[in-house]
Structure 1
Amino acid sequence: MNEWYFDRFGQAMFVIAEGDRFVSRNGRNLGWLKDKSVYTLTGRPVAWLDNGVMRDGSGNIVAFARSAAGVLPSVPGMSGAPGTPSLPGRPPLPGFAGTMSNPGGGGWGSKTIRELFGTDV
C-alpha cells in the first residue's frame, strides 16, 4: 500500500508508488525519489525526503506523511486519505542532475507541490 503525503494545510497530495515515483492524487506522475533526493520528471533535484518529511532546498517543509518521524513545527488537521489513485505508466527515467543534500530544519514552506515539481497535480 502507498502512503499519502500531506501539504501544510493537511490536504492529501501524493503517494510514492513503486518506492521511487511520486504520483499525485489525480493520478499524474510528478517526479522521482532516488536515495533521499527528490527530483522533477526531468531529473532536477528539488527536495529532500527523510523520515516522512519532505523539505525544499531551503529546509522548509513542503509535505509530510502521517507516519512522519521527522520534526514538524505543528501538525495541521488532515483530510481523509483518498483511495489510491490510478497509477499512470512509468515515464522514462531522466538523467539525474546532481543530488540534494539534507538542507536542515526549517518551518513550513510556502511552496506548493505544484510549484515544487513544476507540473500540475
Structure 2
Amino acid sequence: MNEWYFDRYGQASFIVVDNERFVSKYGRNLGWVHQGKQVFSLTGQPLGWLEKGVLRDRKGGIIAFTRWAGNWLPSVPGMSGEPASPSIPGPPARPGFSGTITDPGSGSWAGKSIRDFFGADL
C-alpha cells in the first residue's frame, strides 16, 4: 500500500510508488527518490530529502508529510481524508541524476507549494 503525503494545509497531495517515484493524486508522475532519501525532479535535478515520512527542500523546509510523521513536524495541521488511490501511470524514462543531495537538517514549513517544489503540474 502506498502512503499519502499531505501538504502544509493538511491536503492529501501525492504518494510514493515502489519507494522510487512520486505520483500526484491525479495520477501524474512528479519526481524520483534516489538512493532511498534523495529527491530529484523528473528531469534529474536535485530537489530535496525524504526521511521518516517528511519531504524537505534543500534548505530543510518541510514540503509534505505522512500521517505518522507528526513527531517530526513543527506543527501538525488538520488533515483531509485520503482520496481513492490514483491510477498509477507507468514510470517515465529514468533520468541521469545530477549530483547528490545531503540531509539539509530540519526546518519549519517551506514557503513553496508542492507544485513549485516539483516544478510540475499536479
Pair in the same fold by TM > 0.5: yes
Verify the 8 A CA contact 1:51 1:70 in the aligned structure 2.
no
Verify the 8 A CA contact 2:9 2:79 in the aligned structure 1.
yes
Aligned residues: 121
Q: Which has the higher helix share?
A: 2
Deviation of the 1:70 alpha carbon: 5.3
Runs of 5+ unmatched residues, structure 2: none
Runs of 4+ in structure 1 displaced over 3 angstroms? Answer: none
1:62 aligns to what?
63
| SS of corresponding position for 1:104 | coil
How big is each residue's C-alpha offset from its partner over 1:7-30, in whole Å with a ceiling of 9 and x where there is no partner?
000000100012101000000000
Task: Map 1:1-121 to 2 at 5 A.
Answer: 1-34=1-34, 35-68=36-69, 71-121=72-122
**Share of identical aligned residues, percent?**
58
Runs of 5+ unmatched residues, structure 1: none
How big is each residue's C-alpha offset from its partner over 1:19-63, in whole Å with a ceiling of 9 and x where there is no partner?
101000000000000120011000111010010011101111000
Deviation of the 1:84 alpha carbon: 0.7
TM-score computed with the length of structure 1 as normaliser: 0.96
Distance 1:42 1:103 in 2: 21
Could you tell me which amino acid in structure 2 is paired with residue 98 of structure 1? G
Could you tell me which amino acid in structure 1 is paired with residue 23 of structure 2? V
Distance 2:86 2:64 in 1: 18
CA RMSD of aligned residues (A): 1.0
